[in-house]
Amino acid sequence: MNRCFKLFKPIQSHILFLQNKNLATLVERRNPNYAILTDSDFAFFERLLGKERCVDDTNALESYNTDWLKMCRGNSKLAILPKTTSELSEILKYCHEKNLAVCPQGGNTGLVGGSVPVYDEIVISTKLMNKIINLDNESSILSCQSGCILQNLDEYIREKAGLTMPLDLGAKGSCHIGGNVSTNAGGLRLLRYGSLKGNILGLEVVLSNGEVLNSMNTPVRKDNTGYDLKQLFIGSEGTLGFISGVSILCPQKPKAANLILVACDGNSFKTVIEVFKTARQELNEILSAFEFMDRESMIAVKENSNLENPFDKEISEKCNFYCLAETHSSDEESAIKKIENFYSKLSEKGLGLNGIIAENKSQFKFLWSLRERIAESLTRDGYNYKYDISLPINKMYDLVMDTRKRFKDNNAEKEFRRCIGYGHLGDGNLHLNVTSTTYDDKIFGLLEPFLFEWTKANNGSISAEHGLGLKKRNYIYYS
């Protein structure tokens, strides 16, 4: 989730960055029109929620004030934890009347500085809004409060009804469904189950004045009565309202899941595209994810997270790109047959150097970790310049190569440590990451606005799934 109600009351304030000087230019000084929290405000919140749900201890506030990447830090003096929509409504109404700035916070797993306060906004956390409201087994519709953790929901609906959540993220163990919706999170399964735009059937949203909008009362799959206003809140990062409840369509949990890692033959990214096309043709309706990692991604997880490249040295030394294809299917036997067809087509076309299929749960987990733990590995390099870009598939890796060329042309090859590309190939979603030991103005200057201009020129989007947050809020017009 992102800071709330930007449209109503722009938060213009500074931010205490841990490392990144340049981001400070993105935010102006604190808007003096916002009130400063007083003892009587504290007293109001304590009366409403009880002392234990009003966090004002400096140490305890640390986690509310700092983002997951530890790059942005706010200076909030109070984090409050409502349990119900009516409490949330009371809180927002009060803040509206008293002109107090607020920052909605879910699992605080965002990567664009969107889920932490910028200055001294009151953090309103959804941590305790974690109740499941209803699970309709016939219609496969789950309704819950916005603070439910994605993985908990997935486990709940699997046990109760053999269903699964239509989205899956590396952060699933801590991200909240409300944050997923407010950033329109994409993740690993979008290829198969589609975006939240199609899967969210209803929302409950509390506006800045405390008014509650609720479209969760009609728990049906189709509703064409009037304008679909809830869509505006999906991906609006908390700027239009605070999502308090979610109604979501959930697919059947597959009976069989398989995972294949392919070491691509050839230096060109065109091979990766051909492997994807072959997967789409041969695995077709059971293809649930198609990810790619470049050579440097694989080296990073080895060096920083001790995850060994599972291929022989001979292959890994030759291989520039890896593809991870996951299948979700209702029976193992026909899935295996399809995977065999996929393999033989790769071999016929000369696309794969080698392939590995996960043979048990731990191998399945290990192969996924090679992709899922890249983000975490990169933070260990020191500083991480992260970009989340949508591009037509055939342009995706050109951007990585052009970025490297730019470093070379500007004699900056020694300043950065890695420049890597990986991501959701099936969705045209590239995660381009540059790392260095510490933050470096020169690297930053070479990256921005170059990357945004390149993306715009190639008809892409500068925010595929991470949102704009604080880091990209001034670049909205590049897409």
Does residue 466 belong to the site contacting a copy of itself (CB under 8 A)?
yes
Rounded distance, CA 219 to CA 442, Å? 53
Among 58, 59, 225, 438, binds a copy of itself (CB under 8 A): 225
Does residue 332 belong to the site contacting a copy of itself (CB under 8 A)?
no
Rounded distance, CA 295 to CA 51, Å? 52
Q: How far is CA 24 from CA 12, 14, 19, 450, in A?
A: 11, 7, 10, 19
Among 122, 260, 462, 470, binds a copy of itself (CB under 8 A): 462
The answer to whether 2 touches 57, Cβ cutoff 8 Å, is no
Buried b / exposed e along 307-323 (16+ C-beta atoms within 10 A): bebbbeeeebebbbbbb
Instruction: Give the x-and-dash track for 188-207 against a copy of itself (CB under 8 A).
Output: --x---xx-xxx--------
Q: How far is the CB of 63 from a copy of itself (least distance, A)?
A: 25
# residues near a copy of itself by CB under 8 A: 75
Does residue 2 belong to the site contacting a copy of itself (CB under 8 A)?
no
Among 18, 35, 232, 401, binds a copy of itself (CB under 8 A): 232
DSSP of 165-199, one letter per residue?
Answer: -S---TTTTT-BHHHHHHTT---SSHHHH--HHHH
Q: Which is nearer to a copy of itself, 64 or 193 (CB)?
A: 193
Range in contact with a copy of itself (rule: CB under 8 A) among 91-99, 119-127, 224-232, 344-352: 224-232
16-75: which residues touch a copy of itself (CB under 8 A)?
none
Does residue 457 belong to the site contacting a copy of itself (CB under 8 A)?
no
CB neighbours of residue 122 within 10 Å? 22
Instruction: Give the x-and-dash track for 352-391 against a copy of itself (CB under 8 A).
Output: --------------------------------------xx
Instruction: Give the x-and-dash track for 94-113 against a copy of itself (CB under 8 A).
Output: --------------------
Among 218, 267, 344, 347, binds a copy of itself (CB under 8 A): 218
Among 126, 143, 384, 429, binds a copy of itself (CB under 8 A): 429
Residue with tokens 């990062």: 237
Does residue 6 belong to the site contacting a copy of itself (CB under 8 A)?
no
Close Cβ partners of 205 (under 8 Å, ≥ 6 residues apart): 212, 213, 214, 230, 233, 240, 241, 242, 243, 244
Residue with tokens 């072959």: 278
Q: Which is nearer to a copy of itself, 15 or 111 (CB)?
A: 111
Among 29, 221, 361, 414, binds a copy of itself (CB under 8 A): 221
Instruction: Give the x-and-dash track for 146-185 against a copy of itself (CB under 8 A).
Output: ----------------x--------------------xx-
Buried b / exposed e along 83-93 (16+ C-beta atoms within 10 A): bebebbbbbbb
261-290: which residues touch a copy of itself (CB under 8 A)?
273, 276-277, 280-286
CB neighbours of residue 7 within 10 Å? 10
The answer to whether 304 touches 381, Cβ cutoff 8 Å, is yes
Q: How far is the CB of 124 from a copy of itself (least distance, A)?
A: 22
Q: Which of 389, 405, 434 is nearest to 296 (CA)?
A: 434
Single-letter residue type at 85: T
